[in-house]
Amino acid sequence: MKTQFPNDFLWGGAVAANQVEGAYNADGKGLSTSDFQPHGLMYPPGERKPGEFNLKDVAIDFYHHYPQDIALFAGMGFKTLRTSIAWTRIYPNGDEQQPNEAGLAFYDALFDEMLKNGIQPLITLSHYEMPYHLVQHYGGWGNRQTIAFFERYATTVFERYQHKVKWWLTFNEINCALFSCFTALGLPPGSSPQVVYQAIHHQLVASARVVKACHRIIPDAKIGNMVAAMPYYPLTCHPDDVLEAQRKEREWLFFFDVQARGEYPSYMQRRFDEQHILLQISAQDRDDLQETVDFLSFSYYMSSCASADPQKQQATGNILNMIHNPYLSASDWGWQIDPAGLRHLLNMLWDRYRKPLFIVENGLGAKDQIEEDGTIRDDYRIAYLNDHLVQAGEAIADGVQLLGYTSWGPIDLVSASTAEMSKRYGFIHVDRDDEGNGTLERRRKKSFTWYQQVIASNGGSLVKPELDGR
């Protein structure tokens, strides 16, 4: 039986401003926290020195190439493209009274180009960046004043683009604050749990207030949140491992719980008590948090195992501390590949919240090889995406309401974790290397035609993998 997706399913891809746009100081743009992370999220931020190389300064120069890139996306049949607005293009320092018109005009042109090609914008307000000025002079999200600055920025773009953008997200992978507090919150690396969770609280309140503003300014829009989702399996059937898996999942489910249910979950109070965390939460904050999101979106790249035994802990893959699953293979970067985990995740989230779901990031970072004839035969990427989409279809058959799927990095970009080009995700190759060499030429990979067929058939061309007999 073929996988069935809804007729209005939103097929597309996802990128982030700081990983594709380049033009880091063009047309009045200010410096963001991303501009102070030249080596990616895995490394502490450094001071920016004149002339210091940062691959993201140019990235793939989407700022100047977007008409060509949008045409390529349209050629694949995209229904939507998820990207972000660079906050510092609109408010270069973050605390100005008036926005930067040149920045607003750029996104007008970008959204017009998308709509002209039949592609709906799905826009993230803050994707791993914020004005560095707010970090220097206010302490980032550790300062309650940042809530008002974010509200002003969001209100500005809602009013400007209300007739062009109907799908919004507040923060990208908001739970990133737990493992990269500078990236997410503008806090010094190693900040205490008290400081981190107070800043997270400010961000959650800001998100809720912005959701309310969106509902008021664009009544026909839908606005959601976004987390990095990772299901945890108990390493064994020992009850302690089962409880540890639940505890690990609650670390990120907490963010969904607040934004989908409108209040702090009770289990967090025990965690706060155990860590001696006392948050400053006003009555107005509690009222604000009751403004909940319209849908839940997430990235899914891998699952992990959990064990209560400290001797079984091991660090593998990216910046997360994960326990290796002996039943799964892994990518070139150590991310374990678990398509069935996506079905499990979708069902778990649907059962827990009964809100529409949206997969806004999923993809395979790999080392691509250009063959002598100029082709890039990325069958490994096709297999990865096919198997995950088959499981998404199974979840739909299970009864999950799934709005859409935007693969991460439909065009090669600068990776967030390690700030390199050699970790490639795209259906489209960009001629640029880790040292910044290359022509920026765009080239279709084999997966380009594959995804084109998937969209044209509304998932009908997907191939269900053979069972391994288990």
Q: Is 159 one of the annotated active-site residues of the chain?
A: no
Q: Is 101 one of the annotated active-site residues of the chain?
A: no
Cβ-in-10-Å burial (0-12, 13-18, 19+) of 118 comes to exposed
Whether 393 contacts 459, CB under 8 Å: yes
C-alpha–C-alpha distance, residues 303 and 290, integer Å? 31
3-class secondary-structure state, position 128:
coil
Cβ-in-10-Å burial (0-12, 13-18, 19+) of 46 comes to exposed
The CA distances from residue 186 to 16, 133, 256, 346, in Å, are: 18, 10, 21, 31
C-alpha–C-alpha distance, residues 334 and 383, integer Å? 17
Whether 248 contacts 231, CB under 8 Å: no
Is the C-alpha dihedral spanning 412, 414, 419, 421 positive or negative?
Answer: positive
Annotated catalytic residue, options 129, 244, 361, 394? 361
- Side-chain half-sphere CA neighbours of 430 within 13 A: 31
Whether 430 contacts 411, CB under 8 Å: yes
C-alpha–C-alpha distance, residues 226 and 82, integer Å? 12
Annotated catalytic residue, options 173, 249, 291, 394? 173
C-alpha–C-alpha distance, residues 395 and 389, integer Å? 10
| Nearest Cα to Cα of residue 401 among 409, 392, 389, 410 | 392
C-alpha–C-alpha distance, residues 424 and 433, integer Å? 10
The CA distances from residue 213 to 33, 128, 170, 200, 291, in Å, are: 25, 22, 11, 20, 10
| Nearest Cα to Cα of residue 214 among 157, 295, 129, 286 | 157
| Residues classed as catalytic | 173, 361
